[in-house]
Structure 1
């Protein structure tokens, strides 16, 4: 019986959280573009992962970032929202032949259009939750929307670069 959470996923968790805390915290574009690379951990998980485990992992990765950023649960809430919506977005984007539940999300296997749609929908929702929870009001809504859009694009580009660099087209499935 294979585990739905393998060693490579645990290493990805450690890597993405460490990158977020050590590198991405200081990498901001003109006070509007923030890169939340830790969400790539949730985006790249296998398609058939248990939903309860997915919600727990969303909380765990968000809470870990909250501890280091001192943000009182903002990232945990946004990550749980992303984890909750991920299966619904996957259902919306299901190809005619369906998915192999052991596959992880991969730009080479799923195609560029599918991957971009999947990534940017979930990143937009996550970033909207982060920035609206941070502001807790609709004052300066235009600036908040600008931060959401720029940060979604920034994080999306970094996620695509990660996929192209570290996920080879030869791999057909990962666990």
Structure 2
């Protein structure tokens, strides 16, 4: 890993956490749809990142959000679960020619259908973990499922908008 890689991802980490804490915390759809945009930091990490670093970064991201939200480890647990499953999903979605060593998770590089499948599966798992750990019960399962689905869609749409706005085609071709 070179220094530009590290600096770029430190800046992304800070931006996604700041966006989550100061903007997305107050942005809720119909009292049920929450946007956990900090998951984009984990999802957008390079494909060839080691699993250990991925888990460490996911824990740090979730723990940082937990400190601001006072949620006692819910986001850290869900983020580590997301990071644990990410390589498995990447293996399931491997293109016929495999991944290039320089590939990153980018809608322009991997394509819309690949990115949609990848992001929706992992966001859904993350949100299910967050909301089921939050309620710790299956009493209001329909309400919880509705929160999971609406929040997954909300987070995915915001993530696609971020990809289209800030991850240019030029950067994808480097």
TM-score by length of 2: 0.96
CA distance in 1, matches of 2:7, 2:17: 16
Shift of 1:132: 0.1
Task: Return closer, same or farther for 1:121/1:87 CA change in 2, 3 Å cut-off.
Answer: same
What residue is the counterpart of 1:71 in the other structure? 71
What residue is the counterpart of 1:143 in the other structure? 143
Q: Can you list the C-alpha shifts for 1:89-122, whole angstroms capped at 9, x where unaligned?
A: 0000000111123321000010000000000000
- 1:166 is the counterpart of 2:166: yes
Shift of 1:6: 2.2
Matches within 5 A, 1:10-159: 10-159=10-159
CA distance in 2, matches of 1:41, 1:68: 17
Q: Can you list the C-alpha shifts for 1:67-105, whole angstroms capped at 9, x where unaligned?
A: 000000000000000000000000000001111233210
Q: Can you list the C-alpha shifts for 1:52-78, whole angstroms capped at 9, x where unaligned?
A: 000000100000000000000000000
TM-score by length of 1: 0.96
Shift of 1:130: 0.1
CA distance in 2, matches of 1:123, 1:98: 23
* Structure that is richer in helix per residue: 2
Does structure 2 conserve the Cα–Cα contact (< 8 Å) formed by 1:21 and 1:65?
Answer: yes
Task: Return closer, same or farther for 1:121/1:4 CA change in 2, 3 Å cut-off.
Answer: farther
Q: What secondary structure, in the 3-state scheme, does the structure 1 residue paired with 2:155 have?
A: helix
Which residues of structure 2 form unaligned runs of 5+? none
Shift of 1:7: 1.2
User: Structure 1 runs of 4+ off > 2 angstroms?
Assistant: 1-6
Task: Return closer, same or farther for 1:24/1:119 CA change in 2, 3 Å cut-off.
Answer: same
